[in-house]
Structure 1
Amino acid sequence: MSELIICEKPKVAEKVAKALSDSPVKQSYKRVPYYEIEKDNGEKTTVLSAVGHLFSLQAINKKEKRLYDLEWVPLYETDKSKKYVKNYIETIKKFSKGVDRFIHACDYDTEGTLIGYNALKYICGEKAIDNGFRMKFSALTKKDLIKSYSEAYPLKDDQSWVDSGEARHILDYLFGVNISKSMTDSVLKVTNRYVQLSAGRVQTPTLAILTEREKEIKKFVPEPYWLIKAKLQDGIIADHTKGKIFDKKEVDKILANCKGKDAVITKITNRKTKKELPYPFELGTLQSEAYAQFGFTPRKTQQIAQNLYVEGYTSYPRTSSQKLPESLGLSDILNDLSKNPKYKEKIKQLKEPLKPNEGSKTDEAHPAIHPTGTLPKDISEDYQKIYDLITYRFISLFGEVAEMESIKVELDIG
């Protein structure tokens, strides 16, 4: 018996091969790496990868005025800059011959599902769908990959997810290509000039939102205002109770009344509040926090988080979940993190029972973003910042509600 495992990217294929065997044999065909595993019972497994999407939609008849009839074709036929994709398609085709079992091991999301499905269907044939299985994993650790491999389920169970991904691509094409074409034709007809215009399912509404916002900004008429502050002893700054003051005469009157006067305390208010534990990171909150802490753009944060996932340091980042199920082995992750002194210092302060604080948002595909327990080696400063952000947030989930005390002092000056 032989099987073929298709991953989404070469680095993931390497991770899968090394998880399933202590001695996979790395080889290459047409400069595309692949891994061969020979089991004790004589079964042979080949692990290779796509390189993202291998297929793209194209109109069946490009001469029609409006393009509605579409088909999937190799990406290098629609995008001349993707010539290297041909080698990956030919490699998959070569090693799919005579295979008894196919395993789809691309990312467990809509795009990853479609990438692997199209590779199996259009390169390996319908037999690959009939004899196909799906690996589901949220982290690229050896433990997670072995578990995912042993629990692979029939690929046909994902058909609704495949349909969802394909529908999105078709809608993008129908909306983008046809409306862009209509807009360009309209300008040509009116001005006798060819100006290529672009529209898109996401692009156009987003541009409309930005346009409306820009109009509001241009309509805004700035109005000057004053903030009055009192400099006191020991560097203490007191704010005037009125906040923003728009009347200059009122400002002058307040300043005149305060000049040369001492501040007299009229009231002291003590207030105790509780600060609840944070929720686990999902992609949106990770991006927001990274921007607030480091000024990283959402795109940069997502790219770093994706690469940390591929290296096996953190879990899958494109999730909307705020849940961390016990099945992840949370105690084991904390124990592994404790091998680093800076994390150990925080972890040893945690009190039993160790149960994470969770939010209400769920994602049936993946848990919240969390460290896997595998400590990173030789990563850049920016990568370390994101890893620390994820790790410290994870540790803090097992802490206690904080009690904060604030003091408000009211003064009378003049």
Structure 2
Amino acid sequence: MKVILAEKPDMGRNIAEVLGVKKKNMGYIELQNGDIVTWAIGHLIRLNTPDAYEQFKVWKLDSLPIIPEPMLSEVDPSRKDQFKVIKSLLDQADSCVIATDPGREGEHIGRTIIEACKFKGQLFRLWIQDLTPATIKKGFDNLQLGTAYDNLAAAARARAYADYWIGFTSTRFFTLAAQEVTGEKAVLSAGRVQTPTLRIVYDRELAIENFTPEPFYSLLAQFRTTAGSYTGKWFRLQDGEKINRLDTKEEVESLRKRIEGQPGTLTEYEEKEVKRSAPQLLDSTSIKTAARKQLGFSIDKTDKVLQSIYDKGFVTYPRTSSVHLSANAADQLSERLNTIRSESKYKEVFPEEIKSLKGKSRYVNDEKAAEHHAIVPTGQNPKDLTDEEEKLYEIILLRTLAAHHPEGRDKEVLALTLVAGESFETKTVSVIDLGWRKILKPDAEEEQPESNVLPPLQNGQAVTVQKTEMPIGKTTPPKRLAEDDLVKAMANAGRIIEGDEELAAVLKDLGIGTPATRSGIVKELLNREYMESKRNMIYLTDKGRNFMRLVHDHPLASIELTADFEMKLNEVADGKRSAAATLDEFKSFVQGIVATKDELQVQIRKQLQGQPLFQQQGVEAVGNCPSCKKAVVERKEFYGCSGYKDGCKVTIPKEFLKVKISAKTAGVLLEGKEILFQGIPGQYGPYSLIIKHDGQKLETRKPTLDELTLGACPICKKPVTEKGNFYGCSGFKEGCKFTLPKEFLGRAITANQIRKLLKSGKTDVIKGFEAKGKKFDAAIGYNIQDQKVQFLK
């Protein structure tokens, strides 16, 4: 019996449908030939946190670095049932096909599960670019031995271990080293890719803040000829570069006086036809930019929507860093486009003839598409897509079709005019054939020549300067990074390396992180509140700024070093480098982090200059201490007064009676206000309490019925209160059966919504109800006659 291990349920079901389903079971599908398809649910197996090791349970500097020997792993408790299913199947199997996503992370997921199950049978690998039936069939006809991917698995393991060692060690190291100096307990999260990515944001933020606009001046001249007039822009060649701006008004005025009213000669006139190629195909980075600009999607939304389209089988593998196709994929793509054309809702924008892109190096390069090629449509027309999925699919399809349309053709005219020894350039463009631009707008950021009409001109023609203009401009600051710009900066980080030309050349197209992990790193930095996103644009927070001020020059923040690590991991995957030797390098680096303690603490003292760490770290006070009036700030397990060094012991726990207390709630309590806590778990069921801070500690009392009521019962008019899993009438002992659920068709119904219903007869519109596989939005009310919840417009 053969077990086929997919990465997710959708992928497993797609594979099973192609191979022939016999019976569907909980967690697996039996095939007609006796084989089994089962699936992981992402990372079923995870590395144990340091708390699982006795020597690392307590945060202490002398326990660093955190490099456990051996590295232990565990089954994710939330996914243990599926792991039991997989293990029981593998215990009966002769062989296993790893059918997880075709990439480093997918390989790691498959290998860790197989290792945890202690499977000793034969391993095979399914490596496919999309989930269409034809591709799945072809993939199973060409299964590879698992040993062919051993190097990839070794690189994945090395990456996982390195990120574990560096992440946990550096986070504890920076946190504890800072705590020794300041006494504060702010947690300073750090990581192998996370920290240099934050440095990219920090450097850009400083460049924007420190930028000083400078004026610049240009000179335009209007030339008169016997056939008409035209305009040219002054320029000068300097050290091989074209200069068309001057720094001072005096320089331009001097030029202006020299040429006004003077005769000149048109020294060069050229007309030529220029072909405009369609944009390159999409990869995981460029699709994020396209989705933001055209749809307003965040990188997280783009990833989720794109993954869903891929899982449904309508586009190829999304986590790719290549904008190229292989020659074989190019042939296959043209066949697929011809297949879907007649039934496609977009058939009007298909080219008249769809030929393979093979031979066009802009789109096809076997070497650059070695592992995963560009994101393109599959041979299936999409169905049952959500509105967001449809819009993203359209972007992919149109970009792909544009490459198959004829090139655009323009007529460009270049005229050079010489007056009093000064040169002027005139460029114009006119469209001959739109080509691919009929279906896709050119990138607005691409520089476009002026589109105007010139009079008949020829070389050697005499001209006269009719008038001049002196436009004044200002230099602009560096552009703020959008979320996708940051992902792009990570991908291109190797290109900004300075001082080491050899390393820069090697790492030019490598960057930091991988297509599969970059979005997650950006999301982590947002979650850690090192930066924030407003309308998909990245802003550094005070916390991020001050942390980076401390570690900017630390080896962990080095873009060069991190990019070099990525190169070494790729070399392990290619079999060019020993995984063991690479892990030894990572261990040495981690040990080196700890060795920088004295230097770091000097930097902390210099940066903080006696100020509390939480202020420098951007940790906002949750409120003022009712005892000493100093700021109360968030610590690891509680909210505490910053005056603790002076003896103030005021604290508020982050969890009280099994109820979590947020920073906002803590602030209200510090003001001496009472808060009603409902649904507190108790021995005899949930109960309610009113909690208040008396200036030193929390105290409680039982709420009255009036304090608990959400409104009057629509049946008997008695108070409606919140119960364990529902809202109910307090007159239930007298027989009133009015109740409303706390959750209905997948959506939580809040107490405020119940108050609204009881007061006005219905809630506001609640988004995201789900019934029969479809989602919808509606307000809800209560039908007294039927005693049921009902949907209202």
CA distance in structure 2 between the aligned counterparts of 1:412 and 1:383, rounded to whole angstroms: 57
1:290–1:173 CA distance, 2 compared to 1 (3 A): same
- The answer as to 2:87 corresponding to 1:88 is no
Aligned to 1:25: 23
Q: Per the alignment, in what secondary structure is the counterpart of residue 53 of structure 1?
A: coil
1:34 paired with 2:28, answer: yes
Counterpart Cα distance in 1 of 2:196 and 2:98: 35
Once the 2 structures are TM-superposed, how far is the Cα of residue 245 of structure 1 from its aligned partner? Answer: 9.8
Given that residues 280 and 359 in structure 1 are in contact (C-alpha distance below 8 angstroms), is that contact kept between their aligned partners in structure 2? no
Structure 1 portions without partners, runs of 5+:
77-82, 230-237, 252-265
1:344 Cα deviation from its structure 2 partner:
2.7
Query: 1:88 and 1:341 mapped to 2: Cα distance?
Result: 38
* Structure 1 match to 2:140: 149
Shift of 1:241: 5.3
Q: How does 1:266-277 map to 2 (within 5 A)?
A: 272-277=273-278
Shift of 1:341: 5.1
Deviations 1:266-309 (A, max 9, x none): 9x996642102433322223223333333333333232222111
Taking structure 1 as reference, are residues 412 and 313 closer, same or farther at Cα in structure 2, changes over 3 Å only?
farther
Question: Structure 1 residue aligned with 2:36, among 33, 46, 53?
Answer: 46
Residues 1:362 and 2:368 aligned together = yes
Q: Which residue of 2 aligns with 1:308?
A: 309
**Which residue in the other structure is 2:108 paired with?**
114
In structure 2, relative to structure 1, the CA distance for the partners of 1:14 and 1:390 (3 Å cut) is same
Change in 2 beyond 3 A, CA 1:240/1:111: same
Question: Structure 1 residues 54, 351: CA separation in 2 closer, same or farther (over 3 Å shift)?
Answer: closer
Q: Deviations 1:228-287 (Å, cap 9, x if unpaired)?
A: 99xxxxxxxx99958999989999xxxxxxxxxxxxxx9x99664210243332222322
The answer to whether 1:377 aligns with 2:383 is yes
Q: Secondary structure of the equivalent of 1:56?
A: strand
What does residue 325 of structure 1 align with?
327
| Residues in 1 aligned to 2:344 and 2:145: alpha-carbon distance in whole angstroms | 44
Q: Matches of 2:250 and 2:148 in 1, distance apart?
A: 74
Equivalent-residue separation in structure 2 for 1:89 and 1:356 (angstroms): 47
Q: Indicate the RMSD between aligned Cα atoms, in angstroms.
A: 3.3
* 1:401 positional shift: 2.2
Secondary structure, aligned partner of 1:24? strand
Q: Cα–Cα, structure 1 residues 226 and 181, in superposed 2: closer, same or farther, change >3 Å?
A: same
> What residue is the counterpart of 1:212 in the other structure?
203
Give the distance between the partners of 1:182 and 1:348, measured in 2 at CA.
59
Q: Is the counterpart of residue 63 in structure 1 residue 69 in structure 2?
A: no
2:8 maps to 9
Tell me the residue number matched to 2:628: none
Q: What is the rounded CA distance, in whole Å, between the counterparts of 2:344 and 2:10 in structure 1?
A: 29
Q: What is the rounded CA distance, in whole Å, between the counterparts of 2:306 and 2:273 in structure 1?
A: 37
Give 1:404's match in structure 2, choosing from 406, 410, 434: 410
Task: Answer with 345-354 or 182-191: which moved more.
Answer: 345-354
Query: Which residue of the other structure, out of 119, 126, 132, is the alignment partner of 1:135?
Result: 126
CA distance in 1, matches of 2:4, 2:354: 43
Provide the rounded CA distance (Å) in 2 between the counterparts of 1:144 and 1:412: 67
Q: Distance in 1 between matches of 2:364 and 2:3?
A: 39
2:2–2:94 Cα contact (<8 Å) kept: yes
> SS of the residue aligned with 1:172?
helix
**Closer/same/farther in 2, CA of residues 227 and 304 from structure 1, 3 Å limit:** farther
Judge conservation of contact 1:269–1:409 (CA < 8 Å) in 2: no
* Residue 167, structure 1, aligned to residue 152, structure 2: no
What corresponds to 2:738 in structure 1? Answer: none
Distance apart, 1:351 and its partner CA:
6.3
Larger Rg: 2
Question: Under a length normalisation based on structure 2, what TM-score does the superposition of the two structures give?
Answer: 0.43
The amino acid that maps onto 1:313 is F
Work out the CA distance in 2 between the residues paired with 1:46 and 1:275.
51
Amino acid of the structure 2 residue aligned with 1:7: A
The residue matched to 2:184 in structure 1 has which SS? Answer: coil
Cα distance in 1 for residues equivalent to 2:319 and 2:231 = 43
In proportion to residue count, which structure has more helix?
Answer: 1
In structure 2, how many angstroms separate the alpha carbons of the residues matched to 1:340 and 1:389?
18
CA distance in 2, matches of 1:182, 1:386: 43
Q: CA–CA distance in 2 between the matches of 1:246 and 1:152?
A: 65
Counterpart contact for 1:180–1:198, Cα < 8 Å = yes
State how far apart, in whole Å, the 2-side matches of 1:214 and 1:332 are.
48
**1-side partners of 2:145 and 2:379: how far apart?**
30
Q: Counterpart of 2:530?
A: none
Tell me the number of residue pairs that the alignment of Structure 1 and Structure 2 aligns. 377
2:47 maps to a residue whose letter is: L
Cα distance, 1:138–1:227 mapped onto 2, change above 3 Å: same
Ranked by relative contact order (alpha carbons within 8 Å, sequence separation 6 or more), the top structure is 1
Q: Aligned letter for 1:71? A: M
Residue 102 (structure 1) aligns with: 96
User: Structure 1: which 4+ aligned runs deviate by more than 6 Å?
Assistant: 224-229, 242-251
Q: Distance in 2 between matches of 1:87 and 1:158?
A: 28
Q: Which amino acid counterpart does residue 345 of structure 1 have in structure 2?
A: E
Distance 1:13 1:356, change over 3 A: farther
Write the letter of the residue equivalent to 2:279. P
Q: 1:177, CA displacement in angstroms?
A: 0.5
- Structure 1 residues 353 and 172, CA, compared in 2 at 3 Å: closer, same or farther? closer
Please give the per-residue CA displacement for 1:187-241, whole angstroms capped at 9, x wherever unaligned.
Answer: 2211222221111111111112222222222212345789999xxxxxxxx9995
For the 8 Å contact 1:228–1:239, the answer to whether it is kept is no
The corresponding residue for 1:74 is 74
The 8 Å contact of residues 102 and 129 in structure 2, kept in 1 or not, is answered as: yes
Distance, in Å, in 2 between the alignment partners of 1:61 and 1:109 is: 31
What amino acid sits opposite 1:392 in the alignment? L
For the 8 Å contact 1:114–1:165, the answer to whether it is kept is yes
Q: How does 1:342-357 map to 2 (within 5 A)?
A: 342-350=345-353, 355=358, 357=360
Query: Gaps (5+ residues) in structure 2?
Result: 57-62, 221-229, 235-243, 253-265, 412-428, 431-451, 455-464, 469-793
Percent identity at matched positions? 27
Specify the code of the residue in structure 2 equivalent to 1:6: L
Match of 1:79 in 2: none
Asked if 2 retains the 8 angstrom alpha-carbon contact of 1:6 and 1:13, the reply is yes
Q: How far apart in 2 are the matches of 1:332 and 1:216?
A: 49
Deviates more, 1:181-190 or 1:240-249: 240-249
Report the equivalent of 1:194: 185
Q: Distance in 2 between matches of 1:340 and 1:248?
A: 63
Cα 1:412–1:109, aligned 2, differ >3 Å: closer, same or farther?
farther
Structure with more strand by fraction: 2
| 1:138-158 deviation per Cα after TM superposition (whole angstroms, max 9, x unaligned) | 110111111212221221221
